[in-house]
Structure 1
Amino acid sequence: MKSKFFRLFRFQGPVSIIYYIAFVGLLWYLVIPHTSIYYRTNLFDPFSEKMNAEDVVLKKGEEFHLYLIRLNQRVTYSSTDIKVADVSIFGTVTAYRPGTTFIRIRFDGRERKCRVRVIDISHKKLTLSRGNSCRLYIKGPNGRVKWYSGNKKIATVSRFGKVKAKKKGWVVIYAKVEGKLLTCRVAVR
């Protein structure tokens, strides 16, 4: 004889099917929202159109190619602020000056957006006398900046971008922002 457990979970008509549907619905409503599956934003959907990037950080003068994945039709590109960054008809984004803009991709009555942040360093070249200092900063929207000196014997840089000249010579100061490396060449007299 089979136990009640096995008889309970067999399909025996419309009542057991409704039971299973209600059980899955209850599971989805009570359990899934409290797990990490519910909070994932990048779930794979094989039939939707996705962009190759939704947030891009560019240095002034840099280019990036933006396109839709899994879409085989004509699209139009436009920029909300062409002074910051503009986009060609083929999806090549060119950064012009520090700031933030959105690139819109329109197709089939729908629209997707990509945020483009353009950054630059305050000085590309700097001349200092021994003992003097100057503060470098990042123009445009930025996050956390890490500053490095190419040669600490010639000039040092603080974590806030203050460059202090130590000894005669030249050195490159590096700023790393969002994976982008910006440089300033410092000559010490």
Structure 2
Amino acid sequence: MKKSIFRLFRFQGPISILYYLAFAGLLWYLIVPHTSIFYRTNLFDPFSVRINAEDIVLKKGEEFHIYLLRLNERVRYSSTDIKVADVSIFGTITAYRPGTTFIRIRFDGKERKCRIRVIDISHRKLTLSKGEGHRLYIKGPNGRVKWYSGNKKIATVSRFGKVRAHKKGSAVIYAKVNGKLLTCQVIVK
């Protein structure tokens, strides 16, 4: 019995190679579409129409140009929440206030979507007395925030955004979120 099983999987010339290629193709066609491999979004398809960015983080007031790759047709852009971010007829996205919105790109009866997350810092300028503290935070949907001070002798900041004034002068507090840098000018009197 064992010899007959091993004989089945033994290469015996070009016929058996074609058999294995056909068998692998059949597995790919019948089984893979029903697995998680098929539903992954990062599979590369060189012939499909794609957006240049599918998830964008913008600061309040910032602009970004969105477009479709491999398409030479007229497209229509629209925003699901124009108070957060709006898009022009040429694909220029402008961020207005913190929040999340989706940009829809319609072409030839099809649609692609791009998520826009707009962030801002709670205070752009802060005046503190010596020894006083104040908490800064990020408005809008954000991920991990990294806080640091430009001048630790004047003011320091904790990893939770708590600013502490030490002596007279001015310092810049930086918050780095998803590759974006937000700043707050701190003046200590």
TM-score by length of 1: 0.86
Unaligned 5+ residue runs, structure 1?
A: none
Residues 188, 73 of structure 1: alpha-carbon distance in 2 compared, 3 angstrom cutoff: same
**1:83-98 residue pairs with structure 2 within 5 A?**
83-98=83-98
Task: Read off the aligned partner of 2:122 and give its amino acid letter.
Answer: S
Deviation above 2 Å: which 4+ runs of structure 1? 16-20, 22-30, 37-44
Deviation at 1:40, TM superposition (A): 5.8
**1:23-102 residue pairs with structure 2 within 5 A?**
23-26=24-27, 29=31, 41-102=41-102
Unaligned 5+ residue runs, structure 2?
A: 1-6
RMSD value over aligned CA atoms? 2.4
Residues 38, 110 of structure 1: alpha-carbon distance in 2 compared, 3 angstrom cutoff: closer
Deviation at 1:38, TM superposition (A): 6.7
CA distance in 2, matches of 1:10, 1:59: 61
Deviation at 1:142, TM superposition (A): 0.2
* Number of equivalences: 178
Could you tell me which residue of structure 1 aligns to residue 169 of structure 2?
169
CA distance in 2, matches of 1:64, 1:148: 27
Deviation at 1:183, TM superposition (A): 0.1
* 1:31-77, Cα deviation, whole Å (9 max, x unpaired): xx79xx77864232121100000000000000000000000000000
Deviation at 1:20, TM superposition (A): 4.0
Percentage of pairs with the same residue: 74
* 1:133-166, Cα deviation, whole Å (9 max, x unpaired): 0000000000000001001110000000000000
Residues 27, 48 of structure 1: alpha-carbon distance in 2 compared, 3 angstrom cutoff: closer
Residues 62, 27 of structure 1: alpha-carbon distance in 2 compared, 3 angstrom cutoff: closer
Could you tell me which residue of structure 2 aligns to residue 9 of structure 1?
13
Could you tell me which residue of structure 2 aligns to residue 127 of structure 1?
127
CA distance in 1, matches of 2:98, 2:28: 49
